[in-house]
Every structure is written in C-alpha cells, then in structure tokens.
Structure 1
C-alpha cells in the first residue's frame, strides 16, 4: 500500500465564486467539513501517512488551516505562490517531497464515498507496475453526481483507457483520484502544464489504465453543485 499522496489544492476556484472570493476552494465546506479535510481524512483512513499539498491562491489561509489539523499525518507544503503550475507542473514541482513510488494524486475539489472496499486500497490492489504508469479512478457517467460533461474515457476489458472522441459521449468520468508511477513524469515539459499531457503519453504507450469506482462520487465544482452535494449527503 503506497504511503504518500499529493493533494492538488492550488487552483484559483473561479467556478466556485463567490464562495472563493475570500477563501481558497479547498476550504469551502460541504456539510460542515472542508473539501480539503474530507480528502485528507480519506487518505488517513486508508493508512496513508504523508500528504504533499500544493498552494497558490490564498496560500496563507491554506497553510494555517493545515497547521490546525490533528498532527496525525506528515503534511508537507509545495509552494506555488510565485507561479501557478497547473496539475502536471504542480506535481513535477512537488516530486522532491514525494518519497513513495507509486503515489496517489487527489484533487481537492471532489468528494467520494467508499463502496464495499476502501477506494484507495482498491487502487493499490489493482496496481501493476509492469503494465501501468497511471491508474485512474473512474465513475460511470450515469453515476457522476453534479457532473455536467459528456464523459472523459472509455475502458477496454483489461482496464486500458482511451479518450472520448469529439462529438461523442464516453461512459466514464475521471474522479480526480489516481495512483501513478514517477515514470509518468520522466522528461516533463517545463513550467505549467496539465496532467492531460502525461495521460495522453501513457495512453499512447498503452500504460494508462482505469478502474470503476464502486461507491458514490460528487463533482463539487460550483456553488450549485456544492449545495446539491450537501443535500444528498445530509439527507441520503
């Protein structure tokens, strides 16, 4: 079981305005608990002992909040105050702080509820270093709560993923949770770039896989989605 996770928390949260006018998006609360705390609590419950959190927008507020948490995890800050590096560049910048290989990457703006098996342990059980550079947690489009897109990926019977074609619908949505090898970041672009670039490279090499989430998932990207998610969580 990998012991380290990278939590992506540096985004500007523009779609969540006005809630993010005075706080970073990871500190927006859903049913009395911040999105960041919910992600870190899931990691801790799965036995992950170290989390690297990147910060940019209202970074001081994020750091202060992390210091106020119980000291039951080794939480390290990857500072992007001077330049926002996007998802891929942010992970590359944080790699010196990440000891494990493979390691988890978790977006802080989604919320998941485990199914019969702990989601993060399920990813670890499915991981095959000989075949994979990335293992993405997917949710069927029909069960992607509060999500408004047309799906992201197809999966073949072995779990190997391919992209949705333009003008089509794909059956799976990426949840923002993945298990990756450091090999995925070999020879990266400089500066800011998206994880999509690295996934496409892994897809082309046949080394990007997916697994279907067995529980619930919520895309908490807007104030409306936040309210809907809170209602569903609170009232079942």
Structure 2
C-alpha cells in the first residue's frame, strides 16, 4: 500500500516529538443532549474520557508536554486535567473565540516549540496492535520529505465512521485527496507536523485542511496506515458501538 517504513526497519535515532496539541475546543453539537452539560472531550467510553484516551497514548509515547485547547465549558476540562501527572498539561484558552483547528494550533505554537509535534483530535481514539501507533508515526517521520504526516485507518478497522475515505496513498507514501474513493483511507485524527508550515499565520479561525492541501500541492503530505482499531464517537447512539469495539479490540490482544 505504501513505502512508509515500519518501526522495525527504521533507525532508532529517529527524532521523536516532545510536545503535542490535543484539539479539544469543539462544540460537540452532534453529541447533544449529552453535551448540553459536559464538553464532548469528557464523554466517557469504556470508563475513560475521550480526552484521556488520547492523553494516555501521548504519555505512553513519552510525550512530556501536551497543550489542550478549550472553548466550550472550559472549566470542566481544566478541572478534569488537574488530576493528570503525565504528560504535563498546558491549557490554551479559546473561551472568548473559537479558532478552529489550525487557528488553535497557531495560538499554541509558543508552547509547542520549534521541532515537529503531534496533533491529536480529542474526539477520536484507537486501540493499538503491536508497536504503539504514535511511536510508529514518529519513526516514519522524515522532515526532509514531509511537512505533515497523517495516521490513517482503513474503513474495515474503523468504528463510528459514517463518511467516506479521505486520502489515497501513493507508493512513496505521499497523499492526495481520495474524493470518496473506496480504495482510500480515513484520516485517523493523529498527525505529526513541522511548525514551519504555520510561518506567518495568525491565530485567527481557519482549518487545518488548508495546510493539508498546501502540503499535497508540494508533495509533502504523507500518510502511515495504523495498526489496530480506530474509533470515533459522533453522536450519543454511537457510544454503545464504541464500547463494544473497545472490548473486542482489547480481547483480541489477550
């Protein structure tokens, strides 16, 4: 499918990101009425909040600092994160104005540093199979060839995804938009990006998709198919299937 190397074939000198941003500022309108009283990142799946599923993956990958942006019912997220010890949490407050995915990242750049960093969506997560996918993503990262590297999932390894595919993968691992082609893969809500792509950008509302398209045009958007099972929870009736998918995926690992 792609020539992106597996972890076992990549030199252990690969640079692993030390920081991450978790995009947790969305309104979660499709999760109403649950999100009438709690922000979507605090919805629990199999006893763990969506936000903690992502942060636990970052902690397991050795990430020292994670920026979490907040907008809707931010005090609940801040209070919840107060109990975490790893990774170290920095709150990026967007309570006055929602900045969308890229605007939120630009606002957080001073905390993310000058080296590549992880980007995680707070409303999707996965169960790893074998080498953790965030470690595989870091090992596959090549700053000389990539501006952004996306983790990708196959439709058959996804639960809760109601749309079509997002990207087609070329033999060299570069991506182009799939336009719904069933042979394509889904963006699985985890990525590595180099901060240089945001040079000159302002912390104004705008989408990360614009940067995906710019990287595609330059041949510098790449993808890595994940191992394991990917889960997205968009509506209240998706919670039961998500919890069943977690139980099945964990049972397969035993």
Same topology, TM > 0.5: yes
Aligned to 1:10: 25
**Which of 3, 22, 26 does residue 41 from structure 2 map onto?**
26
For 2:183 and 2:234, the matched residues in 1 are separated by 20
User: Cα distance, 1:198 vs. partner?
Assistant: 0.6
Matched, 1:218 2:210: no
**Alignment check: 8 A CA contact 2:69 2:93 kept:** yes
Can you give the 5+ residue segments of structure 1 that lack an aligned partner in the other structure?
none
**Which of 196, 205, 208 does residue 183 from structure 1 map onto?**
196
For 2:245 and 2:178, the matched residues in 1 are separated by 29
User: Cα distance, 1:232 vs. partner?
Assistant: 2.3
Aligned to 2:141: 127
Partner secondary structure for residue 35 of structure 2: coil
When residues 36 and 93 of structure 1 are mapped into structure 2, their CA distance, relative to the original with a 3 A threshold, is same
User: Cα distance, 1:170 vs. partner?
Assistant: 4.8
How high is the TM-score relative to the length of structure 2?
Answer: 0.88
For 1:170 and 1:219, the matched residues in 2 are separated by 20
**Which of 111, 117, 127 does residue 125 from structure 2 map onto?**
111
User: Cα distance, 1:108 vs. partner?
Assistant: 0.7
For 1:116 and 1:122, the matched residues in 2 are separated by 10
Aligned to 1:61: 76
**Which of 213, 218, 241 does residue 228 from structure 1 map onto?**
241
User: Cα distance, 1:187 vs. partner?
Assistant: 3.0
For 2:146 and 2:48, the matched residues in 1 are separated by 34
Aligned to 1:139: 153
For 2:59 and 2:90, the matched residues in 1 are separated by 14
Partner secondary structure for residue 34 of structure 2: coil
For 2:185 and 2:79, the matched residues in 1 are separated by 36
For 2:184 and 2:236, the matched residues in 1 are separated by 26
Partner secondary structure for residue 54 of structure 2: helix
User: RMSD in angstroms over aligned alpha carbons?
Assistant: 1.4
**Which of 167, 190, 205 does residue 218 from structure 2 map onto?**
205
Can you give the 5+ residue segments of structure 2 that lack an aligned partner in the other structure?
1-15
